[in-house]
């Protein structure tokens, strides 16, 4: 219980990131065609238009890896009191969100970009507290 109380912020943000990225990765796997179709339309007329399948696959890999690293980091903090894997997971989560932000800006979807900024705040805060 002491580990949870001493690391509550880190653990809660890790759980948040696990939910966000594992759910997103699972959704991409089980709804690949729908996601691909929507994204092709979303990025039509942008320089990313012809790269959508490659970018979606890359994002799937990075998001899923982020979620897995955050889950391992959660376990590592609780059991071993170590946070290195959690730091890697939180950094990769930020990279995923920056990729999404870049895409939304390229598509001129400024409302979507604002939503991603909301996710970025706790992710970058976690990087900060895990580094100190």
* Residues belonging to the chain: 132
1 falls in which pLDDT band (50, 70, 90)?
low
**What pLDDT does 4 receive?**
76
In this prediction, residue 5 carries a pLDDT of: 85
pLDDT-derived band of residue 2, with 50, 70 and 90 as boundaries?
confident
- Whether the per-residue pLDDT at 35 is higher than 80: the answer is yes
Does 132 have pLDDT greater than 90? Answer: no
Dig out the tokens for 57 from the structure: 């696959």
Q: In this model, does residue 125 exceed pLDDT 80?
A: yes
Question: Is the confidence at residue 20, as pLDDT, over 70?
Answer: yes
User: Phi-psi category of 108—alpha, beta or left, where left has phi over 0 and alpha has psi -120 to 50?
Assistant: left
Query: Helices (H) and strands (E) in the chain — how many of each?
Result: 6, 0
Residue 16 near residue 125, CB atoms below 8 Å: no
pLDDT confidence of residue 88: 98
Cα(23)–Cα(3) distance, integer angstroms: 26
SS3 state of residue 81: coil
Q: Which two tokens stand for residue 31?
A: 């709804």
The 10s digit of each residue's pLDDT in 52-89 is 999 999 999 999 999 999 999 999 999 999 999 999 99
| pTM for the structure as a whole | 0.93
Nearest to 20 by CA among 53, 59, 55: 59
Mean pLDDT of 3-11: 89
């Amino acid at each position: 219980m002491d580990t949870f109380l001493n690391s509550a912020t880190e653990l809660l943000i890790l759980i948040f990131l696990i939910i966000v990225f594992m759910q997103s990765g699972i959704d991409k796997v089980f709804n690949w065609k729908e996601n691909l179709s929507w994204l092709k339309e979303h990025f039509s007329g942008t320089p990313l238009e012809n790269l959508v399948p490659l970018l979606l696959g890359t994002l799937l890999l990075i998001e899923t890896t982020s979620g897995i690293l955050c889950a391992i980091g959660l376990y590592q903090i609780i059991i071993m009191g170590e946070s290195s894997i959690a730091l890697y997971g939180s950094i990769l989560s930020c990279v995923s969100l920056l990729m999404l932000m870049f895409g939304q800006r390229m598509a001129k979807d400024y409302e979507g970009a604002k939503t991603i900024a909301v996710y970025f705040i706790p992710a970058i805060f976690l990087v900060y507290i895990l580094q100190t």
